[in-house]
Amino acid sequence: MRRRGWILFLALLLCLAVAGGRLGTVCLRPAYSAAAEQQALFTLTVDEPRGTVYDRAGRPLTNRQTVIKTVLTPTPQTVSAVHAALTGPELAAALAGLAGRRPFVLTTKRAFAAPRALTFVCHQQVPAVQPAVHLVGMVNGDGNGVGGLQQIFNDRLRCNAPLTVTYTGDAAGGALAGVAANQTRPAANGGVTATLDLAAQLALEQAARIDRGAVVIQRPGSGEIVAAASFPAYSPARADRALNDPDQPFFNRVTAAYNVGSVFKLCVAAAALEQGIDPGRTYTCTGTITCGQKFHCHKADGHGTLTMTQALAQSCNPYFIDLAREVGGQAVYDMAVKLGFGQALPLWEDWAADAGRLPAAEELARSPAALANFAIGQGSLMATPLHVNAMTACIAGGGVWHSPLLVLSLTDRDGKTIPMKSPAGRRVMSGDTAALLAAMMQTVVTEGTGRAAAPAGQTAAGKTATAQTGITDRNGAVTQAWFTGFFPADAPRYVVTVLVEGGLSGGADAAPVFKAVCEALP
């Protein structure tokens, strides 16, 4: 019996020896040794830098603000340091992190000193204010672009490799003291250069006092969008507050279609002048005109006898209805198409402004009432502020129409710049026609419905509109107020279109915004 017990005991010792030898062999293998070491490491992602969207002069439109990101190691000395350096929410965030064992990343506005701390200057990816936010877009919590250029070029701008810090862990789950952290620098990102001018954009956003609406600014002769803003704007840092706002801050009114109204009379006048109709042509306005049905002038007792220049200055509906009958619906329709109406205006590949709506040419030929509505920018006609501004830029640019342009160049991750080819302009009216229209538009500002648009110390040309929408609310009929023009009148530098959603009249609501913006632009 005793002998059997000894045999079992010796067998057990032999098994333990074999197992111990096997374990030693495993631990000595390089692969297993490396795996064990790897399990003792942990990595913190400090920052995921994103490529920059620049303005035309190379100034950043994004990545304009910096923050400090500090990697802190929980120690009593670190607790003392943050108490001495931080207050408020920053202190609370620091103490919450220091309650744990492992190092963590703290974001602050200013740098401060702490034992074993690693400090990095990083860009603020979600700022409180983003210039041209509806065109530039924002970055969400996942680091992806949402809306505008941020979304269109997300793959180019997004970080490929983040900034990380790797620590060796100790037995308690913290960082092993005396062992330096390993830092990995992020890979380079691509960039986008927009046509926007930061100084003009900031001036526009400061000067334009609009509850709901849009302003677009272009350079004549190129189609380049210098500045554009949709109102109200939203804050990327407080985007959640905009979700349920009844004024719809996320809605981009720059690229949305609206009823156009009397700014379309510029198109009718262009069609007439191209047919050789004398700008001195007269018509006697009595306050109404019958064209399939009765249409009214905004001046109930009529304007009396007017030339084309006077009719544009006073925005006389009967004059332009009668003019459209003489010119013919097809000619007005053709000019509208040449000016881009009824077509989506691309800003980049699959991103375009709403096409709006044009009545069918057949309807204009068949229905006198449809032609009359078309002549004064009413009926089914709808267009975006970009369409209206492109029409005005064509006049300011001597009769050559350019599609709006937003991107000048792209930058690869290796720093190579790729210029974007600008779309060629197309001549849609003669230089003489454009010059005549420009002179008429100057009369609108000096003598007509656009007098409130005149910038101090400068000349300007333009056209007002008060577009009927067919919508009523508790305050009555809803209208859209427009002013589109350029300045200086004799040598245009900027073309500006203003839309005031729900405005009572172009002269009262949109023209003063034009004036304020012109006076603020650099």
pLDDT tens-digit readout, 202-254: 999 999 999 999 999 999 999 999 999 999 999 999 999 998 899 999 999 99
Q: What is the pLDDT of residue 8?
A: 53
327-344 mean pLDDT: 98
pLDDT of the residue at 6: 52
Whether the pLDDT of residue 428 is over 70: the answer is yes
- Residue 36: predicted pLDDT: 46
- The per-residue pLDDT for range 311-324, each reduced to its tens digit, is 999 999 999 999 99
Pairing of strands 304-306, 104-108: unpaired
For the chain, percent of residues with pLDDT exceeding 70: 93
Taking the C-alpha atoms of residue 301 and residue 465, their distance in angstroms, rounded to an integer, is 20
* Residue 356 clears pLDDT 90, i.e. is over it: yes
- Dist CA 124 CA 164 (whole Å): 17
Q: Distance (Å, rounded) from C-alpha 307 to C-alpha 487?
A: 24
Mean pLDDT, residues 78-94: 96
Paired sense of beta strands 53-54 and 191-194, if any: parallel
Task: Using pLDDT thresholds of 50, 70 and 90, give the confidence band for residue 13.
Answer: low
What is the separation of C-alpha 229 from the centre of its chain, rounded to a whole number of angstroms? 7
Higher pLDDT, 66 or 37: 66
* pLDDT tops 70 at residue 304: yes
Over residues 396-409, the pLDDT tens digits come to: 999 999 999 999 99
Predicted pLDDT of residue 2: 55
**Architecture, CATH, for domain 198-520:** 3-Layer(aba) Sandwich (3.40)
Return the pLDDT at 476.
86
160 pLDDT more than 90: no
CA distance 452 to 504: 14
Contact 507/451 with Cβ under 8 angstroms? Answer: yes
For residue range 486-495, list pLDDT tens digits in order.
999 999 999 9
- Residue 173, pLDDT above cutoff 80: no
Confidence band for 93, pLDDT divided at 50, 70 and 90: very high
Domain residue extents for the chain: 198-520
Q: Tell me the mean pLDDT in the region 108-117.
A: 94
> If pLDDT is split at 50, 70 and 90, which confidence band does 21 have?
low
Q: What is the torsion angle, in degrees rounded to the nearest 10, for the CA atoms of residue 450, residue 456, residue 457 and residue 458?
A: -40
- What is the model's pLDDT at position 14? 54
Q: How confident is the model at residue 171 (pLDDT cuts 50, 70, 90)?
A: confident
Residue 367 in tokens: 């229905």
What's the average model confidence in pLDDT over 281-289?
97
| 175 band by pLDDT with thresholds 50, 70 and 90 | confident
pLDDT at 32: 47
User: CA nearest 220: which of 519, 489, 498, 521?
Assistant: 489
Q: What is the mean pLDDT of the chain?
A: 92
1 has pLDDT over 80: no
Structure-token pair, residue 52: 């920059």
3-state secondary structure 155-224: HHHCCCCCEEEEEEECCCCCECCCCCCEEECCCCCCEEEECCCHHHHHHHHHHCCCCCEEEEEECCCCCE
Amino acid symbol at 88: G
- Tell whether the model's pLDDT for residue 172 goes beyond 90: no
**CA within 13 Å, CB half, 89:** 3
What mean pLDDT is predicted for residues 344-371?
96
Return the pLDDT at 23: 46
**Cβ-Cβ contacts under 8 Å for 340 (sequence gap 6 or more):** 387, 390, 391, 401, 403
What is the dihedral angle through the alpha carbons of 62, 68, 69, 75, rounded to the nearest 10 degrees?
A: -170
Question: Which tops the pLDDT comparison, 188 or 325?
Answer: 325
For 339-360, letters b (16+ CB in 10 Å) and e give bbbbbebebeeebbbbbbebbe
